[in-house]
């Protein structure tokens, strides 16, 4: 990459949560770690280098596994993967068959299996607790999933940079007191790295690239190593934990293309430029939204059912209920969805329907008269199709991931 020639086009991408989106940095287009890394990288090569930020705020590996195509170019050459902080909230403490590690494995397999065969770097950021003072029990070095995810790094030969590994001892010498030498407070803004933390992450990535370039200069890749790089991936660490053959994740500006009827619904963006929140909104009972798509080719087993997932807004005021059901081209059990959130937060949640594979599946969302609040608002923000895997019990983790995206 560093010895790219004129006329070449090298693409760099990042997938992760709000940290990779630049939250915590004073200038999300200049002082965040991804832009710092790209700005260092670009002048070093004669090739044209394009950097694309595909991170989604508050997302996890389980979400990105099914929505990766929305975040990465198919021809990407280098991918940074940062989910350690957000994944930690889903950890159940298991060392064996840990759900977070299984989610990360499937995501890594999807990235490594891309046609462009990209290089991958895992970016690790301390989870909430390690950087929170003064409670000493929350400062445990092992209060993170990155050690368990380290097994993926070694198994798939994917390098890792870790802010915890590089800065934890420096933090300890500061005893956690503001102004007492180097402290975590100098690095973080709440749970996100501030400018200093983003600078450290950028420097870690630069150091890894420099070490790699030096190693290749001293010992270039031989034919056997090049052939090994082109081989198929090994079997998953966790038996059967293969990445989905195909997924469809329809969000943002893509959603209207799948709408065939919108009686009483309007496509609006209730967010801002920094954190857009588009979707179809209805406020009156009887409003009908119909979405249609093909569900063929998502599983090698043509008889296997698929998970068709509706993404919808939950909130604590003026929200209503809706029925979702299959109306033509496919059959499924209808569901009644109450979009009132008892936690008094506005979040995106999901409703799953099990549907057969078909050339055309039309689903209707109808706002009902019944409500548990003082209104009838219902908002649809996306549609997902994936292979149904009940044995992996992943739906609650995906739900949690999607629940947090609009925070």
pLDDT digits (tens, 9 = 90+) for 193-215: 889 899 999 999 999 999 999 99
Model confidence at 1, pLDDT cuts 50, 70, 90, reads low
Examine the pLDDT at 178 and tell me if it is beyond 80.
no
| Highest mean pLDDT, choosing among 50-64, 127-141, 310-324 | 310-324
The percentage of the chain sitting over the pLDDT mark of 70, rounded to a whole number, equals 85
* pLDDT value at residue 213: 92
* pLDDT value at residue 298: 81
* pLDDT value at residue 387: 81
Which comes out higher in pLDDT, residue 229 or 324? 324
Per the CB < 8 A criterion, the answer to whether 361 and 310 are in contact is: no
Per the CB < 8 A criterion, the answer to whether 123 and 140 are in contact is: no
* pLDDT value at residue 292: 96
* pLDDT value at residue 175: 52
Alpha helices of 30-138 — where are they, by DSSP H? 33-41, 61-67, 84-88, 99-112
Mean pLDDT within 237-260:
90
Cα maximum dimension of the chain: 72
* pLDDT value at residue 393: 37
Per the CB < 8 A criterion, the answer to whether 259 and 287 are in contact is: no
Token representation of residue 252 = 């943002």
The percentage of the chain sitting over the pLDDT mark of 90, rounded to a whole number, equals 52
Model confidence at 344, pLDDT cuts 50, 70, 90, reads confident
Model confidence at 65, pLDDT cuts 50, 70, 90, reads confident
Token representation of residue 156 = 């798939």
In CATH, what class is 248-404?
mainly beta
Mean pLDDT within 58-69:
85
* pLDDT value at residue 181: 55
Examine the pLDDT at 145 and tell me if it is beyond 90.
no
Nearest Cα to Cα of residue 144 among 102, 100, 113, 180:
100
* pLDDT value at residue 400: 43
Cβ neighbours around 221 below 10 Å, total: 10
pLDDT 10s digits, 89-144 = 556 667 777 888 998 999 999 999 999 999 999 999 987 666 554 445 656 777 78
pLDDT 10s digits, 250-298 = 988 999 999 999 999 999 999 888 778 899 999 999 999 999 999 887 8
Cβ neighbours around 136 below 10 Å, total: 8
Instruction: Give the chain's mean pLDDT.
Output: 85
Model confidence at 394, pLDDT cuts 50, 70, 90, reads very low
The residues of the chain that CATH labels 2.60.120.260 are 248-404
The residues of the chain that CATH labels 3.40.50.1110 are 9-229
pLDDT 10s digits, 22-40 = 999 999 889 999 999 999 9
Mean pLDDT within 68-96:
84
Q: Which CATH architecture has domain 9-229?
A: 3-Layer(aba) Sandwich (3.40)
Tell me which H or E stretch contains 152. Answer: helix 146-155
Model confidence at 404, pLDDT cuts 50, 70, 90, reads very low
* pLDDT value at residue 391: 41
pLDDT 10s digits, 357-373 = 999 999 999 999 999 99
* pLDDT value at residue 78: 97
* pLDDT value at residue 112: 96
Examine the pLDDT at 396 and tell me if it is beyond 90.
no
């Amino acid at each position: 990459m560093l010895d790219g020639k004129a006329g070449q086009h090298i693409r760099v991408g990042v997938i992760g949560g709000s940290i990779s989106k630049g939250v915590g940095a004073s200038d999300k287009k200049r002082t965040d770690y991804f832009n710092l890394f790209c700005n260092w990288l670009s002048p070093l090569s004669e090739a044209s280098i394009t950097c694309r930020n595909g991170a989604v705020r508050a997302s996890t590996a389980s979400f990105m596994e099914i929505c990766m195509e929305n975040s990465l170019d198919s021809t990407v050459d280098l991918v940074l993967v940062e989910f350690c902080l957000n994944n930690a909230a889903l950890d159940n403490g298991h060392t064996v068959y840990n759900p977070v590690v299984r989610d990360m494995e499937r995501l890594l397999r999807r990235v490594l299996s891309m046609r462009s065969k990209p290089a991958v770097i895992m970016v690790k950021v301390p989870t909430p607790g390690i950087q929170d003072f003064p409670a000493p029990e929350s400062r445990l070095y092992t209060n993170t999933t990155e050690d368990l995810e380290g097994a993926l790094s070694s198994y798939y030969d994917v390098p890792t940079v870790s802010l915890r590994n590089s800065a934890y001892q420096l933090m300890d010498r500061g005893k956690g007191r503001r102004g007492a030498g180097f402290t975590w407070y100098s690095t973080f803004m709440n749970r996100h790295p501030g400018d200093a933390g983003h600078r450290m992450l950028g420097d870690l990535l630069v150091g890894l690239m420099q070490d790699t370039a030096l190693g290749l200069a001293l010992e270039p890749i031989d034919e056997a190593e090049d052939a090994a790089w082109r081989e198929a991936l090994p079997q998953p660490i966790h038996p059967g934990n293969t990445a989905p053959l195909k997924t469809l994740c329809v969000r943002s500006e893509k959603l209207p293309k799948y709408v065939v009827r919108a009686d009483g619904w309007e496509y609006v963006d209730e967010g801002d430029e920094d954190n857009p929140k588009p979707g179809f909104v209805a406020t009156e009972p009887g409003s009908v939204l119909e979405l249609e798509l093909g569900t063929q080719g998502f599983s090698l087993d043509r008889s296997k059912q698929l998970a068709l997932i509706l993404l919808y807004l939950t909130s604590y005021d003026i929200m209503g209920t809706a029925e979702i059901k299959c109306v033509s081209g496919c059959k499924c059990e209808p569901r009644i969805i109450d979009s009132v959130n008892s936690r008094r937060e506005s979040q995106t949640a999901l409703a799953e329907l099990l549907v057969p594979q078909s050339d055309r599946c039309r689903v209707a969302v109808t706002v009902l008269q019944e409500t548990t609040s003082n209104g009838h608002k219902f908002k649809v923000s996306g549609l997902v199709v994936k292979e149904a895997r009940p044995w992996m019990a992943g739906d609650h983790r995906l739900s949690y991931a999607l629940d947090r995206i609009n925070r």
